[in-house]
Amino acid sequence: MKSVTRSPGLLALAAVLAASVLPGAACGSGSRGPNVVLIVVDSLRADGLGCYGSSPSVSPAIDRFCAEGVRFDRAIASASWNLPSVTSLVTSTPPWVHGQGAPAAGTGEIVTLAEEFADAGYRTGAFTEVAWPLLQRGFGTFQNTAFGHTYGAPDANSAAKTLGAALDWVREDDSEPFFLLVHTYEVHSYFLGKPRHHEFAGKEQPGYDGPFRDWAVRDLTQPAGPQVIKALLQADEDDLAYVRSLYRGAVAEVDAEIGRFMTGLDEEGLGDRTILVLTSSNGEGFRPDLRRVHHGGRLHDDLLHVPLIVRWPGHLEPVVDSSLVSTLDVGPTLLTLAGLPGEPRFAGRTLVTRETSILPSFGGPRFRVPKRPKRPVVAEEAAFRTLPSGERESATTPQLALYSDWVVLIDTGDDAELYDLKDDPEQEKDLSADYADGVERLRKRVHRIAEQAGSGITAPDAEQMEQLRSLGYVQ
């Protein structure tokens, strides 16, 4: 038989082609998959970041990260406060299905994102400033860096502490890929009177000498939410400007720590090997004139519109996507990027697709954000309701919000509100009286969507209310 001599160049090309079709080849380490980091900045409004329109920007590190990744301009959270919203994020299930994070009957059928990555051989770790049973599932390491203090205690919660502990954990072991959840209350806690936040606000509002100049919610033996709401409802225009600067100071603090974390990843040689996602649980309200302050109790866009940025250098094309998406979509998207099978119990959908051309795969898999069929997004609030006065009380009837393109219906249980976000982004004009027939059709639609996704919508039971008390939300 005639022998065939193969050139070194052809052999090298064959090796590249073979590697390009292997799962996880993107990192240049055999079948190893990419690392995944999910950062949740509690109570961060989308418009709190420069890349989402805040000016002047106080988020240069996040803005750079945003420019290198996919910015989803219209990401909607599943709830208006953290317990149900973060639980939905890590389980890709709506609040009325997972039971708001309480260890209620039926949660055994729910799978968490950490469990999916752990089953795939990932090292899993979470560093948060809060904890509840369903959030902890699937993590080999779970650390509440606030050490169990009532949420938001100024001497306990800290983005520096939480992100620093997360980076230390990353550096401990590089023998296998990791999935890391980081959750910080730093922005949520702008009302706690941290000196750095007040220092920032004083520089932005040097002439302010009103009642919020030394504002701090110091009585943490009582739920902080009602205290914040009472204070903000009494704020005038100058007060609000200072309060918003306190909030911006907290965003600047988080941004600096995220910048240090990203630098740390680069120093470890992990930057290009790591999928990094930044999002939030909910926004924050600063409209006492509309009786919309703080968060929870209602389902307006200031609480539901959150940032969502996904970055993977060299593998995910940086773009701005303006279509309507849900934070339920984060889990399926991360599984797709990591090359893992989809989870059929996840209610969200992947927001990316893998390029099929063989040439782009020479450097590992490449992904893009495709056009997707329009789909409505639904959010729920079942724990609280906001009274006409702007104060908040425990709910007896769950509320639902339906986003359908730019039209938003808020079904409060007893009534409904209708808004056109394109013409009225601040939701100042309720159109429900002008479109009564359409409102009724939308109310039926949102309840139909919710019923198809679970066994029904209920208000919190006694066990869930006890969990709310343990988190400092109710007495």
pLDDT tens-digit readout, 76-125: 999 999 999 999 999 999 988 887 644 343 445 889 999 999 999 999 99
Q: 2 lies in a domain?
A: no
Q: Are strands 407-411 and 399-404 parallel, antiparallel or unpaired?
A: antiparallel
- Could you give the percent of the chain with pLDDT greater than 90? 73
Q: 287 lies in a domain?
A: yes
Q: 1 lies in a domain?
A: no
Q: 436 lies in a domain?
A: no
Q: What is the CATH number for 196? A: 3.40.720.10
Q: Is 390 left (phi over 0), alpha (psi -120 to 50) or beta?
A: left
Whether 450 contacts 457, CB under 8 Å: yes
- Quick: pLDDT tens for 193-212: 999 999 999 999 999 999 99
Listed residue (394, 390, 393, 407) closest to 443, CA to CA: 407
Q: 444 lies in a domain?
A: no
Domain count, the chain: 1
Average pLDDT value over all residues in the chain: 87
pLDDT top residue among 160 and 30? 160
**Reported pTM:** 0.89
Mean pLDDT of 46-69: 97
Q: 400 lies in a domain?
A: no
Contacts of 27 by beta carbon, 8 Å cutoff, 6+ apart? 33, 34, 177, 273, 364
- Could you give the percent of the chain with pLDDT greater than 70? 84
Q: 360 lies in a domain?
A: yes
Q: 41 lies in a domain?
A: yes
- Structural domain including 206 reads 32-375
Listed residue (235, 433, 389, 231) closest to 297, CA to CA: 389
